[in-house]
Amino acid sequence: MNRRIAILGAGLMALAGPVAAQTRLASNFDTHSEVTIDRPAATIWPHILDPNAWKQGAKSWHHSGPIGRVGEVFAAGDPAEKAKAAFRFENVELVPNQRRTIKLYNPTGALIGYASWWLREQGGRTLVGYDVYSETLIDAAQAKATPLEKLREAERSAMTTNKARFDQELVALKRLVEAGR
């Protein structure tokens, strides 16, 4: 029987059993948010495909790939400075009115994680969820220069701040959709 033991902070994880322990230093960000919207999933779905009207922070635009399909790549950042995108993401799963999953990349193309929106409709109301799983590697110079406790605190702070932002964004989506816009 495998037993999973998580060591909180700095993304370190030890696994008991046949799998080797995670040895790289990283800041992990895993969060889950959800809201119930008093509308059918089909009304919400277009806003999941184009979240610019309700998501805070970086805006996104088409970068490459087949528009509206799996494989479409978006850039995100300040639309006035498209050449300096903060990150990119790619549609890797599109199930209309049910799920959109994106793969997140840093500006150099390294994978940083995945995010999924999911919709569960029942009786004309829809439970909308947003799950994010990401990891940012901490380079050796930063790890050497920064005490482990400060890295852990930065990870906790980022999780708290971003979780609150994602919760607020879903509330903004709820208001937008229920207002009929």
What is the number of other CB atoms lying within 10 angstroms of the CB of residue 33?
A: 20
**Chain-centre distance of CA 31, in angstroms?**
8
**Going by C-beta distance under 8 Å and a sequence separation of 6 or more, which residues neighbour residue 134?**
28, 29, 30, 104, 112, 113, 114, 115
Quick: pLDDT tens for 17-30. 455 556 677 888 89
Tokens 């990119």 belong to 88
Determine if the pTM surpasses 0.75.
yes
Q: What local confidence, expressed as pLDDT, does residue 20 receive?
A: 53
Q: Which of 179, 172, 170 is nearest to 35 (CA)?
A: 170
The mean pLDDT value for 25-38 works out to: 91
Domain range annotation of the chain: 28-140+148-178
Quick: pLDDT tens for 103-133. 999 999 999 999 999 999 999 999 999 999 9
Q: How many helices (H) and strands (E) in the chain?
A: 3, 9
Give domain 28-140+148-178's CATH architecture. Answer: 2-Layer Sandwich (3.30)
Q: Which of 33, 38, 73, 28 is nearest to 56 (CA)?
A: 33
Quick: pLDDT tens for 133-176. 998 888 888 877 888 888 888 888 988 999 999 999 999 999 99
Share of the chain above pLDDT 70, in %: 86
Q: How confident is the model at residue 9 (pLDDT cuts 50, 70, 90)?
A: very low
